[in-house]
């Protein structure tokens, strides 16, 4: 019932006209930027961060929730019409979505993805509402040791378990952790790896890293490796409405996908990529029209899109209740909180219930705005896609550099941005995941603080992480996640040999 009271209070905040306006602006901007090819949700949120400089925290965060949802929806439009998934979570949508568009069914594909996002997003927010107070209740009992163990779990899932290669994921994570060391040590005031550069004493901003990797790196990669390839934009022809048959096939897919996506997002295992592919293969198995898969089956769009949205909302559970981001986008949202001196976590629900519940309530509202805004306006979003590529990427870089420069008004941030751009270019070319680096940068310093606090309390006795049951359990699961797949692979290989 606590959730219900909190939510009512939240709607009080979210339905204020000014906050409705911020939500509306957020959704519109998020969709507009999210539609741009090559711009995924993480980059959209990072690039629009400077816009909130003058807003009060509640308004700014409500706007950000809108941007988050808008960017997700905008991204799927691009994926379907252009077959250029802006992020790995959209790849599954591209498989069938682009085929549908090629077959002249772009309208229903976009509709099922918009309505599916709404359905999945709304159910996921309901689940978030119910789940958050429960997690908060547990998390209030967490000490530094538990937090540290939980963060180690998050690092491991993000870097080692998700993604194609454990080795490359870990390399990326440790590069992020290394960047997180730069600056003044929060416990002792000792400068580390700043080389006497004043701008580096503040530490490396997550926005600079994210914009460098996602905007500069991506632009360099696209220009150098794909800009001279022909590109086909599918036309929006025919009705955008779904037929009765389309509805009948979409609804169960949305619901199943929500059931897959939300848990994946909400355990600190991040990444919407796995649930989208799980949903895709589940729909492929269950469908009554297997012959359509590969040439544009509507379930193959409805499922992954809903899974993507449900998991994106699920990611907000660990972010809001524990302060732990498990996707690159969540890492940037955490920066947005930190810019206002707000640390998400169980205490936030007690100290600033207005803000947290207002934010949660605004997601219900955001989902509705998204639906009413996007279906009728789809023609405008499609026009955005026809901006010539040279202009598009030039504009993206003007905004990207603005975001980095406005942090300290210093060219040092621009230089750092370019270095991260080169890093992103190399990572993109050699299939090294970037999310672990972004999460390592923001979560590394938090984990270090908890680690040293735990040891301070135990007077330097490192066994504290194993004698506290919750901490020990997290560490045991983490170890199992790494060791078990390795053992399985090894046994398989031995069997093959012997």
Residue with smaller CB distance to another protein, 254 or 280: 280
- Please give the structure tokens belonging to residue 457: 């309390």
CA distances in angstroms from 149 to 170, 347, 461, 477, listed in the order given: 17, 19, 15, 10
Residue labelled with tokens 């269950």:
286
What's the min distance (Å) between Cβ of 107 and another protein? 26
Residue with smaller CB distance to another protein, 351 or 426: 426
Residue with smaller CB distance to another protein, 137 or 461: 461
Residue with smaller CB distance to another protein, 103 or 426: 426
CA dist 113 and 377 (Å) reads 15
Residue with smaller CB distance to another protein, 258 or 478: 478
Residue with smaller CB distance to another protein, 240 or 455: 455
What's the min distance (Å) between Cβ of 53 and another protein? 6
Residue 39's Cα: distance from chain center in Å? 13
- Please give the structure tokens belonging to residue 224: 């150098």
What's the min distance (Å) between Cβ of 328 and another protein? 19
What's the min distance (Å) between Cβ of 402 and another protein? 6
What are phi and psi for residue 184, nearest 5 degrees? -85, 130
What's the min distance (Å) between Cβ of 273 and another protein? 14
What's the min distance (Å) between Cβ of 282 and another protein? 23
Residue with smaller CB distance to another protein, 242 or 331: 331
What's the min distance (Å) between Cβ of 135 and another protein? 27
Count other Cβ atoms within 10 Å, centred on residue 491: 10
User: Is residue 3 within a helix (H) or strand (E), and if so which, with residue range?
Assistant: helix 2-14
CA dist 463 and 142 (Å) reads 17
Residue with smaller CB distance to another protein, 10 or 421: 421
- Please give the structure tokens belonging to residue 241: 């409405």
Q: Is-contact 44 71, C-beta < 8 A?
A: yes
Q: First-to-last CA distance in the chain?
A: 60
User: Is residue 163 within a helix (H) or strand (E), and if so which, with residue range?
Assistant: none
CA dist 259 and 281 (Å) reads 14
Crossing angle for the helix pair 17-35 and 353-384, nearest 10 degrees? Answer: 40
Interface positions with another protein (CB under 8 A): 50-51, 53-54, 164-165, 167-168, 170-171, 173-175, 177-178, 181, 185, 187-188, 190, 192-193, 216, 219-220, 223-229, 388-391, 393-395, 397-399, 401-402, 405-406, 409, 411, 414-415, 417-418, 421, 426, 430-431, 444, 448, 451-453, 455-457, 459-460
CA dist 326 and 88 (Å) reads 15
What's the min distance (Å) between Cβ of 3 and another protein? 36
DSSP 158: I
Q: Which residues pair with 494 in a beta bridge?
A: none
Rounded (10°) CA dihedral 273, 274, 280, 286: -160
What's the min distance (Å) between Cβ of 398 and another protein? 5
Helix, strand, coil distribution of the chain in percent, nearest 5: 80, 0, 20
Residue with smaller CB distance to another protein, 185 or 354: 185
């Amino acid at each position: 019932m606590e959730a219900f009271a909190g939510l009512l209070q939240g709607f009080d905040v979210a339905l204020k006209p000014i906050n409705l306006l911020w939500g509306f602006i957020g959704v519109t901007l998020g969709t507009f930027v999210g539609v741009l090819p090559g711009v995924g949700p993480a980059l959209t949120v990072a690039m629009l961060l400077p816009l909130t400089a003058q807003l009060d925290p509640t308004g700014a965060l409500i706007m950000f929730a809108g941007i988050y949802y808008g960017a997700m929806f905008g991204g799927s439009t691009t994926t379907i019409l252009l077959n250029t998934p802006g992020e790995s979570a959209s790849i599954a949508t591209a498989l069938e979505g682009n085929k549908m568009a090629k077959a002249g069914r772009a309208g229903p594909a976009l509709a099922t993805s918009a309505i599916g996002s709404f359905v999945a997003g709304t159910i996921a927010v309901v689940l978030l509402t119910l789940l958050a107070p429960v997690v908060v209740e547990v998390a209030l009992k967490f000490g530094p040791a538990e937090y540290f163990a939980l963060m180690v779990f998050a690092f491991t899932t993000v870097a080692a378990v998700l993604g194609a290669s454990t080795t490359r994921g870990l390399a990326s994570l440790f590069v992020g952790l290394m960047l997180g060391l730069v600056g003044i040590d929060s416990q002792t005031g000792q400068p580390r790896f700043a080389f006497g550069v004043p701008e580096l004493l503040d530490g490396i901003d997550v926005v600079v890293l994210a914009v460098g990797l996602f905007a500069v790196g991506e632009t360099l990669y696209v220009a150098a490796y794909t800009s001279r390839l022909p590109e086909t934009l599918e036309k929006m022809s025919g009705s955008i409405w779904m037929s009765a048959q389309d509805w009948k096939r979409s609804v169960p897919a949305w619901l199943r996908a929500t059931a897959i996506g939300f848990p994946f997002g909400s355990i600190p295992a991040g990444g919407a990529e796995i649930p989208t592919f799980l949903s895709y293969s589940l729909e492929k198995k269950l469908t009554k029209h297997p012959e359509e898969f590969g040439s544009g089956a509507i379930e193959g769009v409805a499922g992954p899109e809903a899974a993507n949205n449900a998991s994106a909302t699920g990611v907000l559970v660990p972010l809001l209740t524990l302060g732990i981001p498990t996707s690159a986008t969540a890492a940037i949202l955490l920066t947005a909180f930190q810019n206002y001196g707000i640390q998400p976590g169980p205490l936030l629900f007690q100290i600033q219930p207005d803000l947290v519940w207002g934010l949660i309530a605004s997601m219900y509202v955001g989902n509705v705005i998204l639906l009413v805004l996007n279906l009728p306006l789809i023609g405008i979003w499609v026009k955005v896609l026809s901006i010539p590529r040279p202009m598009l990427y030039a504009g993206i870089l003007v905004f990207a550099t603005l975001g980095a420069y406005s942090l300290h008004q210093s060219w040092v941030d621009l230089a750092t941005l370019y270095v991260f751009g080169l890093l992103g270019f190399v990572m993109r070319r050699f299939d090294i995941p970037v999310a672990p680096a972004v999460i390592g940068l923001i979560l590394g310093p938090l984990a270090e603080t908890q680690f040293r606090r735990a040891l301070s309390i135990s007077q330097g006795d490192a066994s504290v992480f194993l004698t506290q049951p919750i901490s020990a359990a997290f560490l045991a699961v983490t170890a199992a996640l790494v060791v078990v797949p390795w053992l399985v692979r090894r046994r398989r290989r031995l069997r093959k040999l012997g």
